[in-house]
Structure 1
Amino acid sequence: MGTNGIGRRAFLAGIGATTAVAVTAGCLGDDADSTADDPVVDIAETTEGDTDPEAWADVSSIRFDGYVGGWVGRDPAPIELVENPTLVLLEGREYDLTWENQDGMHHNIAFWDADREVVDNYTTDGTDVEGERETLTFEATAEMATYRCEYQQEGQRGDVTVLKSAALE
């Protein structure tokens, strides 16, 4: 036994137990299969959608499911099961964005500019009724930078890319 009253075996056993607890608790680093870009919402498969302008050329309607953890794209195909997908819109084109409340929490959707201001009053009233839908009809403008739920601004938000029509010609 050493001079401080702790034997070598007791010390090594303590180190081993501490290491086992740290590994079990996940304190020694990230899981190799987990990244910061993994979806939060269980139903979502990814956080990366198809942003190729050609994939968006014929889109005029967009559908999301709303959860506190994020928006999950349902339609069109470039955003299907993508959490908080980037929307690729054509300037001047009219769109219908329909979202459905999936968790009974209060949500709405709004388009914001770079200064975090609502663009052209493009916002819905919101609902906390699970299964209820809201549709926002809007015209894509160059000012649009993001879409967000104004109640869960950090969890439910995605980027908007607005292209000139000539970008697809």
Structure 2
Amino acid sequence: MVSSPTRRRTLLTGVGTTVVAAIAGCLGDDNGSESEADEPVVDEAEMTEGNTDPDAWHDVETIRFDGWVGGWVGVEPSAIDRVENPTLVLVDGREYEVSWKNMDGVHHNIAFWDANREVVADYSSPGNEVVGEVETLTLEATDEMATYRCEYQPEGQRGDVVVLEDR
């Protein structure tokens, strides 16, 4: 019997997908339940949910992260301290200083994207791969902002942005 390249490729694709899903934790554990989706990937993070109460963000002007290949870890304000890929709550028209520190020597940057995955108003830092180096991006919040991401690891290092109207 002659092996079909298409069937072999299909089988290998299926096996590869199963292996990737298992490594990523997408399959259930031995008890048949799903794995914990809310567990941080980065060891330095303590949780995946921060405080999104607008009152907690009222006086925020500075946002700080530690940059890891597995995710952004919040440092400041306290609403995101030790939170992996936290949701940012910004006020439309307000200026913010967003800084991040490279923690692992992998090339990272930070960019603010709209719903179409395009950078909003050139709000993107140049990036660096130097452990301990800090980059700062000054931006004005707009209702176009939907997410912030590392453009080099856009799926692992990403968080949502909620933009509120000024009170």
Sort the TM-score into its range (normalised by shorter chain): 0.7 to 0.9
2-structure distance, mates of 1:70, 1:27: 24
1-structure distance, mates of 2:90, 2:32: 36
Q: Which protein shows a greater Rg?
A: 1
TM-score normalised to structure 1 length: 0.80
Aligned residues: 140
The runs of 5 or more residues in structure 2 that have no matched partner are: 1-27
- Tell me the CA shift for residue 37 of structure 1: 1.3
1:32-111 equivalences in 2 (<5 Å) = 35-111=36-112
1:1-169 equivalences in 2 (<5 Å) = 28-29=30-31, 35-166=36-167
TM-score normalised to structure 2 length: 0.81
After the TM superposition, list the runs of 4 or more consecutive aligned residues in structure 1 that deviate by more than 6 angstroms.
none
User: Could you tell me which amino acid in structure 2 is paired with residue 123 of structure 1?
Assistant: S
The runs of 5 or more residues in structure 1 that have no matched partner are: 1-25
CA shift digits 1:101-124 (9 cap, x unpaired): 000000000000000000000000
User: Could you tell me which amino acid in structure 2 is paired with residue 68 of structure 1?
Assistant: V
The equivalent of 1:17 in structure 2 is none
2-structure distance, mates of 1:27, 1:109: 34
- Tell me the CA shift for residue 141 of structure 1: 0.2
- Tell me the CA shift for residue 29 of structure 1: 3.5
> SS of the counterpart of 2:56?
helix
CA shift digits 1:69-120 (9 cap, x unpaired): 0000000000000000000000000000000000000000000000000000
